[in-house]
């Protein structure tokens, strides 16, 4: 069935207003952008006006005009309560106001009743945001549950992976914490302090006698690790080892110990010359992990 030109008209008009407002905003012409949003609102009604008010509210949030943004998005919701994006925007404003309970309530409404409008990425982000709010309110069990569910939907939220790992570690669940720490380390935005925390976690006493029987029967071939000592080893192959195997390799496997020392001497200068000033963190963390692979972690964790 062909769509009537009359039906297409309002959509084209809205698209034109939105495009103009975005162009003004990108050019730093904030006053003109606001005038355009106001004109857009005045020329629409019903769900179309709700969309215009939501767009204006999003613009105001970017300008850090939170009270005005809140008023505008609430007006949008009055016109169309069942819009996922409007509810999420309102929840984020409540969070900014530190009204965590109201923010959770709004996120929950969007997740429960409007999730069919959202992508897996949006739902994953919503759940991790709600998990952060549960954490702020002191409900760690609900926080962990939301983070786990959210990261199943959107695993590439690396900082959420880090936050979940920290909560699991603090709860004594070291094995699951390790899995989330290892994923989070794939991020390009890990800080030096986080890198240090990661290294310290890998040598925690909680892991010292894990998997001893498996190690003793050489279920993990030493040559596989020795042959993998490259620039990419530390955040790829090393992260795949169980904690017990890390300790076994570090303390018990003479073959790996000797070969790693030999390879490290060859590659150390290559590492230092290849890594630019902008990626100094990677150089620091890489060398620290090689150090504890070769010997006693106490010598470099102080």
Predicted confidence (pLDDT) per residue in 73-93, tens digit: 999 999 999 999 999 999 999
CA angle 129, 135, 141 (to 5 degrees): 105
* pTM of the predicted model as reported, rounded to 2 decimal places: 0.70
> What is the average per-residue pLDDT within 67-74?
98
> What is the average per-residue pLDDT within 101-128?
98
Find the helix packing angle between 192-202 and 174-184, rounded to 10°: 140
- Binning pLDDT at 50, 70 and 90, where does residue 220 land? very low
- The whole-number pLDDT of residue 223 equals 42
- Binning pLDDT at 50, 70 and 90, where does residue 224 land? very low
- The whole-number pLDDT of residue 225 equals 41
Break the chain into its structural domains and give their ranges: 15-112, 190-302
- The whole-number pLDDT of residue 89 equals 98
- The whole-number pLDDT of residue 94 equals 98
Selection from 40-44, 104-108, 199-203, 267-271 with the highest mean pLDDT: 104-108
- The whole-number pLDDT of residue 242 equals 56
CATH architecture type of domain 15-112: Alpha Horseshoe (1.25)
Instruction: Say what percent of the chain tops pLDDT 70.
Output: 62
Cβ burial, residue 191 (10 Å; 0-12/13-18/19+): exposed
Q: Is the pLDDT of residue 295 over 60?
A: no
CB 33, CB 59: distance < 8 Å: yes
pLDDT digits (tens, 9 = 90+) for 240-264: 555 555 565 555 555 555 555 555 5
- The whole-number pLDDT of residue 218 equals 37
- The whole-number pLDDT of residue 266 equals 60
């Amino acid at each position: 069935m062909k769509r009537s030109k009359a039906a297409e008209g309002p959509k084209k008009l809205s698209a034109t207003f939105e495009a103009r407002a975005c162009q003004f905003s990108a050019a730093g012409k904030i006053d003109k952008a606001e005038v355009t949003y106001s004109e857009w609102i005045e020329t629409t009604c019903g769900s179309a006006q709700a969309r215009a008010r939501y767009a204006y509210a999003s613009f105001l949030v970017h300008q850090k005009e939170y009270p005005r943004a809140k008023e505008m998005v609430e007006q949008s919701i009055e016109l169309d309560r069942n819009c996922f994006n409007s509810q999420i925007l309102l929840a984020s404003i409540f969070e900014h106001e530190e009204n965590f309970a109201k923010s959770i309530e709004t996120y929950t409404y969007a997740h429960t009743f409007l999730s069919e409008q959202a992508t897996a990425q949006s739902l994953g982000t919503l759940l991790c945001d709600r998990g952060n709010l549960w954490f702020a309110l002191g409900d760690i069990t609900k926080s962990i549950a939301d983070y786990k569910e959210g990261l199943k939907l959107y695993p590439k939220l690396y900082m959420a992976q880090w936050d979940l790992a920290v909560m699991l570690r603090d709860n004594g669940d070291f094995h699951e914490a390790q899995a989330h720490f290892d994923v989070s380390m794939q991020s390009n935005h890990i800080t030096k302090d986080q890198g240090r925390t990661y290294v310290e976690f890998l040598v925690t006493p909680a892991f010292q006698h894990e998997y001893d029987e498996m190690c003793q029967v050489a279920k993990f071939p030493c040559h596989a690790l020795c042959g993998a000592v490259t620039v990419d080893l530390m955040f790829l192959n090393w992260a795949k080892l169980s904690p017990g195997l890390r300790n076994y390799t570090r303390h018990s496997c003479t073959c790996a110990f000797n070969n790693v020392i030999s390879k490290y001497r060859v590659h150390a200068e290559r590492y230092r010359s290849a890594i630019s000033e902008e990626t100094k963190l990677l150089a620091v963390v890489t060398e620290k992990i090689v150090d504890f692979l070769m010997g006693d972690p106490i010598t470099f964790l102080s």
